[in-house]
């Protein structure tokens, strides 16, 4: 765990803070601890009184995006703090969680002799032996990572699920062999990268008990390797949903496209997202143009896909905004593109905690709509009310 030096305040300000009532200090701490954990750790180092007063807010927002080891260390710390608390248990209200950490590394490069037309069989054998060692190292590391995630994720989810208000989840690198049976009774905002949570399948949920009964805003960000997203199942387990956004949407898998059309359709049953107010769709990046300028088969298919989305949006029972296609990432050399994606997601997550609009900024959506090259890219005739922040209406 990274040690953070306590903030250096002028003596007069420190004395003033020390004289405040504990209840007021606790309230201030909740408004300060919105950066994923750094401020909570810093406040704990100021003084014994500030440490005590800020303890209920210490884990108000938690960002765990580095590795499975970081998650395991946090869980041990959180359980210890809950065990020692006499009253006002610390609770995690906002969580940013990534399974795409830095734990999975390849073997260090080995010195392999350069190959030439006159290479001897021995050098080829050495090359393949090195390749086999690297592959075995990757498999062993992945197996160890899976074992560690299978051990810590169920315990973490069960510990924080009853209290969460917002969750941002990036799924990768974990081949889940675990099924967690739990509910998120207070969760209001959910962002998922990579499809539905593999450890929380809808098929294992008890009938008549929604997993996300209070969920208002759902943002699905499809991955390069898309998984099926069945929005009819989401309608059953998130009956209070008001805003739905699907980013990087592709025409495959068809289940995702078809069920999204069904829940938006005027003929949808009355119990399918009865409170839905707005749907935002952002297609995946289009194919690169041909060097000769002629449209390729992929480009024609992509054009048909966009036309299909516009047609579905015009027929929808709620306002639907079709944004311009997502831009293909172009990371600099030596920069991990997944790392940048995770950091951007964490920034949006923190913006929502602090009262910002995040990806639900209707003004920005309207500007994107106006800048779109297609005048029929949106079927939203009227703007929706501003997105309510998560912070001012918080419940301690």
Per-residue pLDDT tens digits for 334-386: 666 677 788 889 999 999 988 899 999 866 555 545 444 333 334 444 444 44
Query: What sign does the CA torsion over 257, 259, 263, 267 have?
Result: positive
Handedness of CA 181, 183, 187, 192 (dihedral sign): positive
Percent of residues, the chain, with pLDDT higher than 90: 38
Return the ∠ at Cα 314 (arms to 313 and 318), rounded to 5°. Answer: 65
Q: Are 190 and 161 in contact (CB under 8 A)?
A: no
Question: Any idea how long the chain is?
Answer: 396
pLDDT for 103: 42
Instruction: Find where tokens 């803070």 sit.
Output: 17
Give percent above pLDDT 70 in the chain. 72
Res 158: pLDDT: 93
In this predicted structure, what is the pLDDT of residue 164?
95
Reported pTM: 0.78
Between residues 195 and 173, the one the model is more confident about = 195
Asked if residue 302 has pLDDT above 80, the reply is: yes
The region of weakest confidence among 55-59, 230-234, 309-313, 391-395 is: 391-395
* pLDDT given at position 100: 76
What does the pLDDT average to over 144-157? Answer: 86
Coil vs helix vs strand at 116 = coil
Hey, is 48 helix, strand or coil? Answer: helix
Position 102 confidence tier, pLDDT thresholds 50, 70, 90: low
Least confident piece of the model among 93-102, 134-143, 266-275: 134-143
Q: Which helix (H) or strand (E) covers residue 311, if one does?
A: helix 297-315
Residues 18-63: pLDDT tens digits?
677 666 777 676 777 666 667 777 777 676 776 666 677 778 889 9
Confidence of residue 291 (pLDDT cuts 50, 70, 90): confident
- What per-residue confidence (pLDDT) applies to 383? 46
Phi, psi of 313 (to 5 degrees): -65, -40
pLDDT on residue 317: 96
In the block, which residue shows the tokens 């050399």?
333
Question: What is the model's pLDDT at position 311?
Answer: 95
Q: What's the pLDDT score for residue 13?
A: 53
Q: How confident is the model at residue 120 (pLDDT cuts 50, 70, 90)?
A: very low
- Residue 349: its pLDDT value, please? 93
Q: What pLDDT was estimated at residue 378?
A: 42
Task: Kindly give, in sequence order, each residue whose CB lies less than 8 Å from that of residue 272, ignoring residues fewer than 6 positions away.
Answer: 232, 235, 262, 263
pLDDT in tens, 307-324: 999 999 999 999 999 999
**pLDDT class for 108, splitting at 50, 70, 90?**
very low
Tokens found for residue 114: 């350069």
């Amino acid at each position: 765990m990274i040690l953070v030096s306590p903030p250096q305040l002028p003596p007069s300000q420190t004395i003033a803070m020390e004289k405040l009532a504990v209840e007021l200090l606790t309230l201030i701490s909740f408004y300060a601890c919105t950066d994923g954990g750094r401020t909570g750790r810093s406040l704990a180092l100021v003084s014994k009184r500030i440490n005590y007063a800020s303890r209920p807010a210490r884990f108000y927002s938690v960002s765990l995006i580095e590795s499975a080891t970081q998650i395991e260390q946090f869980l041990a710390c959180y359980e210890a703090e809950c065990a020692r608390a006499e009253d006002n248990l610390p609770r995690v209200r906002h969580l940013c969680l990534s399974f795409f950490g830095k734990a999975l590394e390849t073997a260090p490069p080995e010195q392999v002799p350069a190959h030439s037309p006159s290479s001897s069989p021995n050098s080829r054998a050495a090359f393949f032996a090195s390749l086999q060692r690297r592959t075995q190292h990757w498999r062993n590391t992945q197996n160890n990572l899976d074992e560690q995630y299978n051990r810590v994720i169920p315990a973490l989810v069960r510990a924080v699920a009853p209290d969460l208000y917002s969750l941002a989840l990036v799924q990768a690198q974990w081949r889940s062999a675990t099924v967690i049976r739990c509910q998120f009774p207070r969760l209001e905002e959910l962002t998922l990268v990579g499809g539905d949570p593999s450890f929380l399948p809808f098929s294992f949920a008890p009938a008549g008990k929604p997993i996300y009964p209070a969920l208002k805003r759902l943002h699905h960000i499809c991955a390069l390797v898309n998984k099926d997203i069945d929005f009819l199942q989401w309608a059953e387990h998130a009956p209070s949903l008001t805003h739905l956004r699907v980013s990087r949407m592709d025409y495959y898998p068809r289940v995702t496209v078809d069920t999204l059309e069904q829940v938006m359709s005027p003929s949808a049953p009355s119990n399918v997202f009865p409170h839905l107010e707005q749907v935002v769709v952002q297609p995946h990046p289009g194919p690169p143009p041909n060097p000769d300028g002629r449209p390729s088969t992929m480009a024609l298919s992509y054009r048909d896909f966009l036309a299909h989305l516009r047609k579905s949006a015009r027929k929808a029972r709620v306002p639907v905004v079709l944004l311009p296609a997502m831009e293909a990432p172009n990371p600099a050399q030596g920069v991990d593109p997944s790392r940048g994606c995770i950091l951007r997601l964490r920034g949006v997550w923190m913006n929502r905690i602090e009262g910002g609009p995040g990806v639900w900024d209707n003004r920005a959506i309207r500007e994107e709509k106006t800048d779109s090259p297609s005048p029929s890219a949106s079927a939203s005739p009227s703007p929706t009310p501003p997105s309510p922040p998560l912070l001012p209406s918080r419940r301690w």
